[in-house]
Chains A and B, each alone.
Chain A
Amino acid sequence: MTLRTTTLGAIALAAIVLLAFVPRLANPYYLALAISLLQYTVLATAWGMFSGPTRYVSLATTAFFGVGAYTVAVLGEVLPWPVVLVVAASLGAILAAVVGLSTLRLSGVYFVIFTFGLAELVRQLVVWFEVNKSRVLGRYVFVNVTQSDIYWQLLILAIAVFLIGWLVARSRLGFALRIIGEDETVATHCGINTTIAKVALFTISATIMTIVGAIMAPRWTYIEPSIAFNAMISFQVLIMALLGGAHRLWGPILGAVPLVILFELLSARFPNTFTIILGCIFLLIVYLLPRGVAGLLESGKARWGETFKPRAVA
């Protein structure tokens, strides 16, 4: 192990230990803010895990998030909490595998279109099922989970996401995905089964999003399809991942942290024009920072290195 990895590991460990004590120290407002920070960090990182290397833009975050939240609403009082989480995760994985298998064989645009409508489709199906079969629309969530519990669960999930992302990036799968992102035809000619690789990673990323939805569900005491499948979540996650830079594992967190805080300030101050501001921020990112903060840092580092080198030689 090199010195650099050891230092990074030590810093990460210290950060985790510090973060674990937040619920003990912070007041309820800051705890709530910390929860949304973690929530969007996990969602954006999971989004970047698939969409970063493959460059397939997924607009379906809220579909998976909603499936997780709604599973808790239905099963939360029936089954013990860990079982509920497992059920939610498997439902999300199945949905992702089905969607992935049917659309990821095709060109990227079809995938985008399909994911764009997926949340609406799932929402309509849930509404239809609730109205016609179970005859309840809107459910109460009474689960014995406190804010601190939510925070710790999200923290564990965040650690898991970074570990998974790190492992995937060093595995054959991660390598295959980077080739697919560069050129899909070349990837096929190298003997990579592109469909399997894409579906596998899409499923991993979607399962994480589903678990986030399930963990977050107890925060609302009342859930109905329009709350669980809120299109805003997909949009915000996309902005955060793009601002941070989805091509690096540590990129999305650089976008999630500033934007969650900014949205928190904006939505309190300008509730009516919030959507417009959000759209403008998004356009600014697309035009001015196509590779995100991570890309900016990298090119800055490269430039710094270039100006530094000749001096060292001379």
Chain B
Amino acid sequence: MTNAILTGLMLGGMYALIAMGLTLQYGVARIMNLSYGEFLIAAAFTAHWLFTGWALSPFVGMAFVVPAAFAVNFAVYKLLLTPLVRRARTRDALEVDSILATFGLTFIVQGSMQSMFGGAYYSYSYLAFPVQVLGETLSANRLAALGITVVLGLALYLALTRTRAGTAIRAVAVDPAAAQLVAINVERTSALTFALGGALVAAAGVLVSTFLTFSASSGVVFTMKALIIVVMGGVGNILGCLIAGLLLGVSEALVASLVDPGLTLAVNFALFLAVLLVKPAGLFGRATR
């Protein structure tokens, strides 16, 4: 039981990290990014390549992967998504268009990874030694990942609530039209926030690669989990994201250890539906949407 809860908390921390980037991309830049998981897997493959080819530790590798992901996502927003933002007349129209465009992007990224790495599963061994916590055995790489998640989450929360740029980002999330009236460059803020979300998911990808096996086609599952957590926690809400992620992780671990490991996705969906039926705006979302 303690073991299940501890495993669940670590899993949940990872889910929260995965979902933080999407909550920024969807909450602020209004892009429902279905290719999100593919970018996570791409970062995982890069970390794998840096580790096996150049013997770079994943935590050092992050210093290369994260800025690169920022640049790539910035380019994706500027080149692919800005035309859609300009074309869309309402927020709903933008959502549908962005879903379709990123759905197409999913297949391009996935196809490229498949032609480069094939369909095989990849993993490497890094920090894979046991650590004793509260009388339970946990692996060091998962603990390290959890630690980095907490640091990143706190830093992001403080940046969003305590700095000028963070306030501008939140203003765009609340009302893009009104944000323009107080001299916020909405287009640039959206592009930068989208890129920031992409950088976060790349960090998540690097961390995930240290303890999970992954293949070119496993991105969809991560997209799914991230989407569920974002909606559950309330769109654009970092704290809600953290709590929803932990909730999902713990419930998954409990079901896997007490009922059956094959039913974890069913639990995700059940939880998702339950939250939507009771509180459609998410656990911490405002009811305006």
* Cβ 8 A contact of A107, one of B80, B263, B280: B280
Given contacts A283-B108, A287-B83, contact A59 B227 (CB under 8 A): no
B163 within 8 A of A: no
Q: Which of A108, A113, A231, A280 has the most CB of B within 10 A?
A: A113
Interface flags, A271-314, vs B, CB<8A=1, else 0? 01111111110110011001000000000000000000000000
Report yes or no: A282 in contact with B221, Cβ–Cβ below 8 A: no
Q: What B residues does A13 contact at CB under 8 A? A: none
Given contacts A108-B96, A273-B115, A279-B104, contact A102 B277 (CB under 8 A): yes
Interface flags, B250-289, vs A, CB<8A=1, else 0? 0000000000101101101100110011001000000001
Given contacts A59-B103, A238-B103, contact A117 B111 (CB under 8 A): no
* Cβ 8 A contact of A278, one of B111, B221, B260: B111
* Cβ 8 A contact of A120, one of B95, B101, B221, B272: B221
Report yes or no: A235 in contact with B103, Cβ–Cβ below 8 A: yes
Interface flags, B194-228, vs A, CB<8A=1, else 0? 00000000000000000000000000110110011
B237 within 8 A of A: no
Given contacts A55-B96, A102-B273, A110-B231, contact A132 B114 (CB under 8 A): no
A63 within 8 A of B: no
A125 within 8 A of B: yes
DSSP majority for the B interface?
helix
Q: What A residues does B227 contact at CB under 8 A? A: 113, 116-117
Interface flags, B232-247, vs A, CB<8A=1, else 0? 0000000000000000
Q: What A residues does B108 contact at CB under 8 A? A: 275-276, 279-280, 283
Q: Point out residues on B near A: beta carbons under 8 Å.
A: 32, 34, 80, 83, 87, 92, 95-97, 99-101, 103-112, 114-115, 220-221, 223-224, 227-228, 231, 260, 262-263, 265-266, 268-269, 272-273, 276-277, 280, 289
Q: How far is the CB of A288 from chain B (nearest CB, A)?
A: 11
Given contacts A102-B277, A109-B95, A235-B103, contact A128 B231 (CB under 8 A): no
Report yes or no: A276 in contact with B111, Cβ–Cβ below 8 A: yes
Q: What A residues does B100 contact at CB under 8 A? A: 57, 238, 242, 282, 286
Given contacts A235-B103, A276-B111, contact A113 B97 (CB under 8 A): no
Ranked nearest first, the 9 interchain pairs of A and B with the lowest CB-CB distance are: A275-B111, A279-B107, A279-B108, A276-B111, A282-B104, A128-B262, A283-B104, A117-B224, A124-B265
A145 within 8 A of B: no
Given contacts A116-B224, A235-B103, contact A286 B262 (CB under 8 A): no
Q: What A residues does B277 contact at CB under 8 A? A: 102
A112 within 8 A of B: yes
A103 to B224, CA, bound (A): 16
A283 to B83, CA, bound (A): 12
Q: How far is the CB of A242 from chain B (nearest CB, A)?
A: 7
A193 to B280, CA, bound (A): 19
A46 to B114, CA, bound (A): 31
Q: What B residues does A287 contact at CB under 8 A? A: 83, 101
Count class of interface residues, chain A: 35 or more
Q: What A residues does B289 contact at CB under 8 A? A: 107
Interface flags, A97-140, vs B, CB<8A=1, else 0? 00000110011111011101100110011011001100000000
* Cβ 8 A contact of A57, one of B83, B99, B115: B99
Report yes or no: A108 in contact with B269, Cβ–Cβ below 8 A: no
Q: Which of B97, B110, B262 has the most CB of A within 10 A?
A: B262
Q: Which of A108, A114, A117 has the most CB of B within 10 A?
A: A117
Q: Which of chain A's residues has its CB closest to B108's CB?
A: A279
Q: Which of chain A's residues has its CB closest to B104's CB?
A: A282
Report yes or no: B263 in contact with A120, Cβ–Cβ below 8 A: no
Q: Which of chain A's residues has its CB closest to B107's CB?
A: A279
Q: How far is the CB of B82 from chain A (nearest CB, A)?
A: 12
* Cβ 8 A contact of A112, one of B87, B99, B268, B269: B99
Report yes or no: A120 in contact with B220, Cβ–Cβ below 8 A: yes
Q: What B residues does A112 contact at CB under 8 A? A: 32, 99
A116 to B32, CA, bound (A): 12
A97 to B233, CA, bound (A): 27
* Cβ 8 A contact of A116, one of B34, B87, B268, B280: B34
Report yes or no: A276 in contact with B265, Cβ–Cβ below 8 A: no
Q: What A residues does B99 contact at CB under 8 A? A: 57, 109, 112
- Can you give 25 contacting A-B residue pairs, CB < 8 Å? A57-B96, A102-B276, A103-B276, A108-B92, A108-B95, A109-B95, A110-B276, A112-B32, A113-B231, A114-B273, A116-B224, A117-B228, A117-B268, A120-B221, A124-B262, A125-B263, A127-B262, A235-B107, A242-B100, A272-B114, A275-B110, A279-B107, A282-B100, A283-B108, A286-B100
Q: Which of chain B's residues has its CB closest to A283's CB?
A: B104
A114 to B277, CA, bound (A): 13
Q: What A residues does B262 contact at CB under 8 A? A: 124, 127-128, 131-132
